[in-house]
Every structure is written in structure tokens, then in C-alpha cells.
Amino acid sequence: MSVGVRPANDGQAAAEARMTRAHERGHYQRTRRKRRRRVGGEGGENNFRSFVPPPLLHARHAHRFCTLIAHGMDARRTFSCLPAELLALVAEELDTRCLARFAAACAACLAAAQADLRAALLEAVKLCLEPGTGPVSNALVESPHFCLPDDLVLLPEGTFYGNTSVTELTLPAGIGTIEENAFRSCSKLVKLTLPAALTTIGNDALAECSSLTELNLPVALTSLGSSSFLGAASLRELTLPAAISTIGEGSFMSCSALAKITLPDALTSLASATFKCN
């Protein structure tokens, strides 16, 4: 029976590898302790420059690090939370090949963050559309990713009541009804694009929208509620579609700039004070 003997050079290589790993661990721990001492210095601000990447980061470790980021969703999410100062330090230690992977990972993180932001914003808007939850806030409308859900079929009562941030809006294609007070007192609303499926505009739906100048009523519209355009003082011209059968009382009251309105041939009666503009 023979017993294998490991060559001396293998044992020496293994010992050197262990020493290298121990050195790296010691270096990392020392820099962590140094960073802890420097965090919360003058002004209480974090000094991320005290973090020094391990010496082998630019080679094998950097390659492994970037590959993990580029292909692992959880890693990307963690990576996207790192401070910019730390990312800059990492980038400085990378070679050209790894730097390209690093840049791609940063772009992926940014895209993921934008998608998460859009999803969160849409959920917040949906909450505002539930009965009794109140109007959509100015802050939501001011977000660059603000939009209404595509599957919306009814704009609830008071959705944008008193909102002063909405200036232009295109309603989703499936909306058939705008309920009362939906846009009341949206004083900065200039242009509203209505969907072709819209049949009903409720009472006071666009009342006191004093800046509204651009509005085309869809051909499917059959009903205008009372005071629906009350105080729309900048509206100059409007054509009522042929399908309209009901125009509520005071629908165009105090529309002081309204110079031209085209009525459908089938219209036989108007409620009182429909066009009282003074």
C-alpha cells in the first residue's frame, strides 16, 4: 500500500494562498474600523472616502463582483442603494473590461428604480380614485411619471377637486363618465383631452376651471350636467355633439369669453340660465 505525498510546492502554494486571504481579511477589517471612526465627524456627515476597496478588486474580485451585479436582480437592488461616493471609489479600481460591466449594471439599476417608481406612483393614484379617499394631490400630479390607470372606465367624484398643478391631461380611452366635481377649481388646467367613449359629464365637473381654453367634446357625449362648465372664463369656442340630449341648468354660466357655440340640430330645449355669462 502506497501513501501519496503532496509535493512541497503544492503545500507552499496553499500556505501562500491562506496568507493572502488572511492579509485581505485583515486589510478589510482595518479599513472598516477606520471608516467607523471617521463616520459622524464634523457636521455628522458620513465620510465614505475612508472606505478603501481590497487590493485585488481591480482583477478577479472585480470581475466576479460585476458579473454578480449584471446577472442577479437582488444584487442589483442592493447595489442601487449604495452611495454615489462609494460607487465612484469602486469604479476607480476597475480595469476597462470590468468598468464596462459596471456601467451596464448602473444603467440596469437606474431602469429598475424608474420602473419601481412608476409602479409605486400608479398605486398611489389608484388609492386616490377609491371612494372617499379624497382628491389627487398636487405632489402626485407634479411627478414626471404621473398618469391615470389605463383600465379606468369612470372618473370618480372630486378626483382632481382644487388641484392647482394639473395643466394638461389626457384621459384614458375607456372612460365613459366624468362624475361631479371631478375637475372643479382646477384653476391652472388649460387643455383636457377627452376620450371618444365619453358619454356623460356630471354636475360641476369642470366648474371654475378658469384657464381652460382647449376642449373638444366627443361625438358620443349625450349628457352635460348642471353647472358643468360654470366659470370656465377662458373658454372661447365649443361645439356640442349631435348626440347630446341633455344640457343641465347653468352649464355655461359665467363663461365670459365664450364667443361661439355650435348647438346640435336635434336639440329642442335648454334649461334656464344655460348661457348666462354676466
Taken in order 18, 20, 21, 23, the sign of the CA dihedral is positive
pLDDT greater than 70 at residue 106: no
Question: CA 15 to CA 91: how far, in whole Å?
Answer: 31
Domain boundaries, the chain: 14-124, 143-278
Cβ burial 87-102 (10 Å sphere, 16+ → b, else e): bebbeebbeeebbebb
Residue with cell 404621473: 146
Fold for 143-278, please state it: 3.80.10
Residue range 230-261, pLDDT digits in tens? 999 999 999 999 999 888 899 999 999 998 88
Q: Pick the more confident residue, 42 or 247.
A: 247
Radius of gyration over every alpha carbon of the chain, rounded to an integer in angstroms: 32
For residue 155, how far is the Cα from the chain centroid? 20
Nearest to 51 by CA among 20, 77, 88: 88
Report residue 26's pLDDT band, with 50, 70 and 90 as the boundaries.
Answer: low
Q: For the ranges 9-23, 136-150, 153-167, which has the lowest average pLDDT?
A: 9-23
If pLDDT is split at 50, 70 and 90, which confidence band does 89 have?
Answer: low
As a whole number, mean pLDDT of residues 122-147 equals 86
Whether the per-residue pLDDT at 78 is higher than 90: the answer is no
Using DSSP bridges, classify how beta strands 191-193 and 246-247 pair: parallel, antiparallel or unpaired: unpaired
| pLDDT band at 200; cut points 50, 70, 90 | very high
